[in-house]
């Protein structure tokens, strides 16, 4: 017995189908971020100071989030800084770039008022602590990305007391 191929009964019901969605964007970094990335190419970390509250942001922002005025003055910060808080990653996950265990830390660079999220290297993760002093270690090849900072490593300085970090934790 022949079957009419146009009959719905002739085919199994469609229960799923693929409908891939992909949108590509061409993003401009903007004046402020471009300047920051240019600084990285020169081995500098350049923040920006708010003319109103005088806080220095790194990475720089074009508008001060607490004052809503354009930040005006570029300010070099670092290369040393202080770990304000940290987290040790011991669990592997898909797409992981680094090998566990490793430590992500908030590093308050000298001269900056907001900490920068990065990683701490050249030390045992169990030795990392709040208040620990660190310094910038640059990658061999500088590219316009924060990955040009390979990590921050401990330096032989006294820890910063918690009271001085309280605002940044």
Partner 1 sequence: MRPIHIAGFAQLDQVLRDTERDEAEMVQQVTAAALADAGLGRKDVGFTCSGSNDYVMGRAFSFTMAIDGLAAWPPIRESHVEMDGAWALYEAWVRLQHGDVDIALVYSFGKSSLGGVAESLTYSLDPYFLAPLEPGPDVLASLQARRMLDAGLATEADFARAVAQAKAAAVINGQVPDPLDHRVGTSHLPLRAEDGPVRTDGAACVVLRAGGGGPRISGIAHRIDPHQPGARDLATCPSAVLAAEAAGVDIARLDVAEFHAPYSSQVVLLSRVLGLSERTTVNPSGGALAADTPMVAGLVRIGEAAQAIRSGRARHALGHASSGPCLQHNLICALEAE
The one among 1, 10, 13, 23 contacting partner 1 by CB under 8 A: 23
Q: What angle do CA 79, 81, 83 make, to 5 degrees?
A: 145
Cβ contacts of 160-167, under 8 Å, gap ≥ 24: 160/82, 160/131, 160/133, 161/131, 162/130, 162/131, 165/82, 165/84, 165/108, 165/130, 165/131
Other beta carbons within 10 Å of 66 = 9
Minimal distance, residue 5 CB to partner 1, in Å: 21
In the window 31-50, what residues touch partner 1 (CB under 8 A)? 31-33
Determine the interface stretch with partner 1 among 5-13, 58-66, 94-102, 114-122 (rule: CB under 8 A): 58-66
Examine residue 13 and tell whether it contacts partner 1 (CB under 8 A). Answer: no
Per CB under 8 A, 100 contacts partner 1: no
Tokens in use for 105?
A: 């830390």
161 binds partner 1 (CB under 8 A): no
Are the beta carbons of 128 and 105 closer than 8 angstroms? Answer: yes
Which of these ranges, 65-73, 84-92, 118-126, 153-161, lies near partner 1 under the rule CB under 8 A?
Answer: 65-73
How far apart are CB 146 and partner 1 at their closest, in Å? 16
> Which positions touch partner 1 (CB under 8 A)?
19, 21, 23-28, 30-33, 61-70
């Amino acid at each position: 017995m022949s079957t009419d191929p146009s009959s719905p009964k002739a085919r199994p019901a469609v229960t799923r189908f693929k409908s891939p969605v992909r949108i590509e964007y061409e993003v401009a970094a903007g004046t402020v971020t471009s300047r920051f990335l240019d600084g990285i190419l020169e081995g500098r970390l350049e923040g920006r100071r708010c003319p109103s509250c005088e806080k220095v942001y790194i990475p720089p922002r074009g508008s001060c989030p607490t004052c809503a005025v354009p930040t005006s003055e570029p300010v070099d910060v670092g290369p040393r800084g202080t770990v304000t808080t940290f987290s040790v990653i011991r669990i592997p996950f898909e797409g992981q770039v680094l090998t566990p265990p490793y430590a992500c830390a908030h590093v308050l660079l000298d001269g900056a008022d907001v900490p920068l999220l990065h990683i701490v290297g050249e030390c045992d993760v169990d030795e990392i602590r709040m208040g620990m002093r660190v310094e910038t270690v640059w990658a061999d090849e500088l590219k316009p990305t924060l990955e040009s900072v390979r990590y921050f490593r401990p330096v032989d300085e006294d820890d910063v007391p918690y009271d001085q970090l309280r605002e940044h934790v």
